[in-house]
């Protein structure tokens, strides 16, 4: 295979010092949300924040600081539904459902088998309304917080449209970013899951709500650095843009996976997530070197998100 193209766009910084910057998402009205999971309070526990960022001015407002009693949350990935709720994958609280006003609720304590819900990192809606979620952490609160790149206790869930939480896979080393590839008629086809420390992207054939085929390798990221694939998003041509945490690049894969066809060079080392401005070529990127939010122009426009299908 020929060497990937190196693409060096102009990046513009929107905001920084957003500690642990992650989870960029637009609601149905164009309002931008993200999270700062490493926020710290005076007492009694640390807790991350959900933020609203004014993209024109860079002004940042805290929308909420999720908690379960005295236990602070660690919000990470975010997605918007058809009713303009923001769904949040949280490393301590599992899955949250938040109104854009900041009112939120913890959705689950257990999955459909009665197993304790694990802490979650990222999520994606398919076009039929199922929410697919990665869960790299140990059991949610009040269990002690557990995360590891060495121990394979991570899981993947599907929260079906009828609100059944199904654990579809386990024994993964820190499952992280997640995406759904759809067929031309909008049918969910493949689930793509990042296993960060192995620098792998796995695929599952989607057979129905909460039902998938056997896991197999879809793609692999370059580099021998600590880290690997984090958040990801499709463009309109079904190319998958993947944040290569620690690698200083966004890796672009064709719809069939394999190795990157393009490497987008970043002005920071640790990109954490990517998300298109709906209907445009503009990609917003969060990162952990400056804890910033940046944007650049990609060659192709965005693939529609679930919240845009109504």
**Known catalytic residues?**
288
Q: How far apart are CA 66 and CA 72, in angstroms?
A: 6
- Rounded to whole angstroms, how far apart are CA atoms 234 and 62? 28
Burial letters for 168-197: b for 16+ Cβ neighbours within 10 Å, e otherwise? bbeebbbbbbbbbbbeeeeebbbbbbbbbb
HSE-up of 197 (CA within 13 Å, CB side)? 12
The token pair that represents 192 in the structure block: 């793509």
d(CA 185, CA 232): 22
Q: What are the structure tokens assigned to 173, written together?
A: 């080393």
């Amino acid at each position: 295979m020929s060497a990937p193209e190196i693409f060096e766009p102009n990046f513009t910084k929107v905001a920084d010092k957003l500690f642990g910057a992650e989870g960029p998402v637009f609601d149905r009205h164009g309002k931008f949300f993200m999270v700062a999971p490493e926020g710290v309070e005076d007492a009694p526990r640390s807790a991350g924040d959900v933020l609203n960022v004014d993209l024109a001015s860079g002004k940042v407002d805290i929308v909420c600081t999720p908690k379960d009693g005295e236990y602070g949350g660690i919000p990470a990935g975010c997605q918007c539904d058809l009713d303009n709720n923001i769904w949040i994958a949280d490393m301590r609280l599992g899955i949250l459902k938040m109104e854009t006003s900041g009112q939120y609720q913890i959705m689950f304590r257990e999955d459909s088998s009665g197993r304790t819900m694990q802490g979650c990192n990222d999520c994606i809606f398919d076009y039929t309304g199922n929410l697919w979620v990665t869960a790299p952490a140990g059991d949610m609160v009040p269990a002690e917080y557990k995360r590891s790149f060495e121990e394979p206790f991570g899981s993947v869930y599907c929260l079906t449209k009828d609100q059944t939480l199904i654990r579809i896979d386990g024994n993964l080393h820190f499952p992280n970013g997640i995406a759904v590839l759809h067929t031309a008629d909008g049918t969910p086809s493949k689930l793509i899951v990042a296993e960060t420390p192995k620098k792998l992207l796995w695929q599952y054939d989607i057979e129905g709500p909460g039902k998938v085929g056997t896991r197999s390798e879809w793609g692999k990221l370059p580099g021998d650095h600590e880290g690997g694939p984090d958040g990801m998003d499709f463009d309109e041509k079904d190319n998958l843009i993947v944040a290569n945490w620690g690698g200083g690049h966004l890796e672009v894969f064709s719809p069939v996976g394999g190795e990157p066809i393009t490497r987008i060079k970043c002005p920071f080392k640790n990109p954490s997530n990517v998300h298109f401005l709906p209907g445009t070529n503009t990609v917003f990127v969060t990162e952990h070197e400056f804890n910033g939010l940046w944007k650049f122009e990609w060659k192709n426009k965005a693939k529609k998100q679930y919240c845009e299908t109504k």
